[in-house]
Amino acid sequence: EKCEFIKEVEVMKSVKKLGHNINIVNFLGCCTVNGPLYVIVEYCKKGNLRDYLLSFRTQPNRLSGWSEDAEIYMQGMEGEEAVHVKNMLSQKVLLSFSHQIARGMEFLSVNKTIHRDLAARNVLVTEDNILKIADFGLARNG
């Protein structure tokens, strides 16, 4: 376990040396003294992409994109109820998510780093809906 942790930290340090990429989580440090081992990365308020997308799926039609029907449906709504409907994930937002992940993976590829475990659970979402590829536990440098 400690050996795997050290490999992950080494990959994250090497990615950090390559320069900043908005779609790669920022490595801040690690904690290895007295107890469990921790990798410290930037805070991403909305958690991982898997849980974020599932939070929309549990409520009917929240992934269905913005339409005139939604405008009609919203008439007469106020406050929290209106905000809830406005927070649907549109196709434009979902396409942006795909593009952001592709940009992050391109950055890694150009710099000869293979992630090897890209999944929604390993992508973090910031408060501004910026996606950050994270979890470099299986990653390798070329």
Residues 48-104: tens digit of each pLDDT: 999 999 998 755 555 555 445 555 455 555 655 544 455 578 899 999 999 999 999
Distance CA(93)–CA(59), nearest Å, equals 17
User: Where do the domains of the chain lie?
Assistant: 2-141
pLDDT of residue 84: 47
pLDDT category, 7, cuts 50, 70, 90? confident
Instruction: Report pLDDT for 10.
Output: 86
Q: Which of 51, 69, 117, 135 is catalytic?
A: 117
Q: Which CATH class is domain 2-141?
A: mainly alpha
Residue 32: pLDDT band (50, 70, 90) is confident
Helix ranges (DSSP H) in 23-118: 49-57, 68-74, 79-86, 91-110
Average pLDDT over residues 37-58: 91
Instruction: Assess whether 51 carries a catalytic annotation.
Output: no
Collect all residues with Cβ–Cβ distance below 8 Å to 63 and sequence separation of at least 6.
Answer: 53, 56, 57, 88, 89, 94
